[in-house]
Structure 1
Amino acid sequence: MEFDKPVVGGPCWAELGTSDLEASTRFYTEVFGWRMRRDPRLASGGYSLAHLGDAPVAAITPLYQRSQPVAWNVSFAVADADAAANKVVEAGGTVIHGPRDIYDEGRFTIALDPSGAAFQMWQAREFSGAGVFNRPGSLGWVELVTRNPRRARDFYTSVFGWSVNASEWYTQWGLHGEDFGGVTAMHDRFPADVPPHWLPYFAAEDVDATTDIAVRAGAKALLEPTSLPDGLRIAVLRDPQGAAFGLYRSVQES
């Protein structure tokens, strides 16, 4: 991701919904060195902000409904949450929560794309999103994992105005000439019961070493550290509660 701050239309935040807030906090603190701060307001239900230094980088939250899966969720910045929700519906998606105000911080929406992949939209007020990107332990890339890349392309370009940069082996999303994410097509290597989803990748100083730390802390490597044709080194892990996330390190960061 080339952005160093939230940009309207781009990813601005990632939050984990977990079945065990304390265990997830211990795990990610060990893996990324996050400093956690729980929101003291009763209505927040235990919402906890992860920091690198003084900068917020992600959140860990309890599950708010029994039907909610343990998963990482990606939020995209919008200028007007209500107008963006209307665009989602017009493009064939579904709004399942909101738009609603979150204290004075902003206005929040949860939606599904036409394939059922969940994503969030955030209209910033007092809180704009992640304070840093691309540093080890912070959000650096987002990837849509879907069984219908062509339909996804039509949907997301309509809703957010993203550009599409397609090579022989990968399709990337972009804004203002900067790529921030991509698309992976779900083929036979994905079990039939795995739904379409957004996968956040966190930057790592050393993908192999961070993978080792995560596995020792109870994670499972879904994709062992792998070098890609453009020089990126990535891994995909499942945390002890079942949420998938990625790691990456680029040539430019080496």
Structure 2
Amino acid sequence: MAELDANQPNGTPTWIDLGVPDLERAMEFYGAVFGWEFDVGPESMGRYTMCLVRGREVAAIMPNHDEAATEFWWNVYFATDDVAGTTSKAEAAGGHVITPPMDVMDKGRMAILADPVGGQFGLWHGNQHIGARLVNEPNAWLRNDLVTPDPGPARKFYTQVFGFSLDAEGYVGEGDFTFLRRPDGHEIGGVLGDPKAVTSSWGTLFMVDDADAAAQRAAEAGGTAESPYDMPYGRVAELKDPFGAPFSVGAAKA
């Protein structure tokens, strides 16, 4: 369990959000799966809605007003103390800018980028909003991993932009996987090379007490759930919400 009250070190995943066609339906679904409570933002903020566990922000959901949109996903934002500077580093390393650096009122400063293999991510420097204030406990966000058919350029990119080191030592799963570590050695996620992957994307994993029960709740609430499976680290289920946005849930081994 970690309660956070300050901006995190550069390169740390610090926030996640999701844009969906129907905010009320999304709140119904994620409330059923995780027991989240919601603080719906005003129209002036696009009804940007905070998802809460014990009154602490763990994620956000917002309406997506693009009627042509057919794909939805959880966005991950990496902490930086210099959004413009990190954006420049990303461009120099072969990434490209989707949303240039901008202020979000008094909440913080952000940008949306894509890495050289197409994985989309955000940058965030918090002011009034630091990002997630509760992580690594049941019904909160646990980790992100980039799944890509072309891991080499992705690994090079993230080491250049954030100064991450690459380390496969200690990984007991299958496949071409490397941990991404901050300069202080802290693990922030990983890159999984998967030749079967059609696109490159950052996956989002939420911690739960019981992966099987969470998968059942997701299916009953109108999402879809693959059969949970065991990994050396615990039990995992891959889910989609009613709009097709993918995410995973994981329960640690007893």
Q: Which amino acid aligns with 1:181?
A: G
Query: Paired residue for 1:226, among 229, 234, 248?
Result: 229
Where does structure 1 differ by over 6 angstroms across 4 or more consecutive aligned residues?
none
- Equivalent positions of 1:190-229 (< 5 A) are 190=197, 192=198, 195-222=199-226, 224-228=227-231
Distance 2:163 2:123 in 1: 14
Partner of 1:90: 92
Q: Equivalent residue for 2:189?
A: 181
How far the C-alpha of 1:71 sits from its partner, in A, is 1.1
CA–CA distance in structure 2, aligned partners of residues 95 and 64 of structure 1: 21
2:11 aligns to what SS in structure 1? coil
Deviations 1:89-130 (A, max 9, x none): 000000110200001110010001111111000011121100
Q: Select the residue among 143, 146, 165 that pairs with 2:145.
A: 143
Q: Deviations over 1:112-160 (max 9, x none)?
A: 1111111000011121100111111111010111111111100011111
1:107 partner letter: R
Per the alignment, in what secondary structure is the counterpart of residue 210 of structure 1? helix
Following superposition, the deviation at residue 9 of structure 1 comes to 1.1
Where does the alignment leave 5 or more consecutive residues of structure 1 unmatched? none
Q: Deviations over 1:231-251 (max 9, x none)?
A: 322111111111000111223
How far apart, CA to CA, are the structure 1 residues paired with 2:79 and 2:157? 16
Alpha-carbon RMSD across the aligned residues, in angstroms, is 1.8
- What one-letter code is carried by the residue in structure 2 that aligns with 1:43? S
Q: Is the Cα–Cα contact under 8 Å of residues 216 and 225 in structure 2 kept in the other structure?
A: no
Partner of 2:12: 10
Q: CA deviation at 1:216?
A: 1.2
TM-score (structure 1 length as normaliser): 0.90
Show CA shifts across 1:2-33 (max 9, x none). 97643321100110111111111110011001
AA at the equivalent of 2:31 = T
Q: Identity, % of aligned pairs?
A: 35
Cα gap change, 1:164 to 1:4, in 2 (>3 Å): farther
Q: Which amino acid aligns with 1:151?
A: P
| C-alpha contact (below 8 Å) 2:143/2:205 kept by paired residues | yes
Contact 2:235 2:250 in 1 (8 A): yes
- Indicate the SS of the match to 1:88: helix
Aligned residues: 244
> CA separation in 2, counterparts of 1:232 and 1:246?
12
Counterpart Cα distance in 2 of 1:7 and 1:66: 37
2:249 is the counterpart of 1:247: yes
Corresponding residue number in structure 1 for 2:49: 48
User: What displacement does 1:64 show?
Assistant: 4.8
Contact in 2 for aligned 1:19/1:70 (Cα 8 Å): no
